[in-house]
Chains A and B, each alone.
Chain A
Amino acid sequence: AQKITQTQPGMFVQEKEAVTLDCTYDTSDPSYGLFWYKQPSSGEMIFLIYQGSYDQQNATEGRYSLNFQKARKSANLVISASQLGDSAMYFCAMRPADDYKLSFGAGTTVTVRA
């Protein structure tokens, strides 16, 4: 079974600054994918970024980047140049490469201040 830990229940960040959201995971699977989703108050889970366990480089998607440290089983999300619209709940999730079930962490609430 996979366990995803997000230790920060809530964070405040000033507009235009960067914020790092922590995620650690525990798995015995040798190959897996890591995902980050954003859930605004409207409820929809919006896919942000993916990192494969065998990827050599850290994933980046626009203002989102993933700081992947495989040995530490860590997959932190960095949001650069925060915008007011980034205020939402952020979930880290993991899926073994040969499975379909996503396991989610408890989430981190980000509030961007003007």
Chain B
Amino acid sequence: GAGVSQSPRYKVAKRGQDVALRCDPISGHVSLFWYQQALGQGPEFLTYFQNEAQLDKSGLPSDRFFAERPEGSVSTLKIQRTQQEDSAVYLCASTLGTFISRGGQETQYFGPGTRLLVL
């Protein structure tokens, strides 16, 4: 497909379980982002990859969250020992380039998200 895809679309986990969320960015897109969206809120930045390098993970809530993009395309967000407060929609986005020059535009294209519910 032409857009960003994510799987699974829905995930129910028992508290304490590990989960893995997958993101397939648009082919050729260099930059990849993960966001967390709590119910009724806007997305919050989690982490940023430029190709396979994770340049920023400042938004990851705890060390239970881990993301990787080993070959610079598909990315996986892993949450270990899930807690109820991890329940949210996890959105992946990609862009063709990297930083934007002054006044330039680099639109982030989002996938449909994974809705995670931790019971």
Contacts and interface: CB of A to CB of B under 8 A. Distances in A.
A6 to B, nearest CB: 8
Given A37-B110, A44-B113, A52-B104, A100 B33 contact: yes
A11 interface: no
Interface size class of B (residues with CB under 8 A): 20 to 34
Interface stretch (B13-21, B62-70, B77-85, B95-103): B95-103
Contact of A91 (B9, B42, B45, B89): B42
Contacts, number: 80
B110 A97 contact: no
A102 interface: yes
A104 B42 contact: yes
Contacts of B25: none
Interface string A52-84: 111100000000000000000000000000000
The majority secondary structure among interface residues of chain A is loop
A64 B95 CA distance: 22
B41 A106 contact: yes
16 contacts: A35-B107, A44-B112, A50-B105, A53-B103, A91-B42, A97-B103, A97-B104, A98-B102, A99-B99, A101-B45, A101-B48, A102-B33, A102-B43, A104-B43, A106-B42, A107-B41
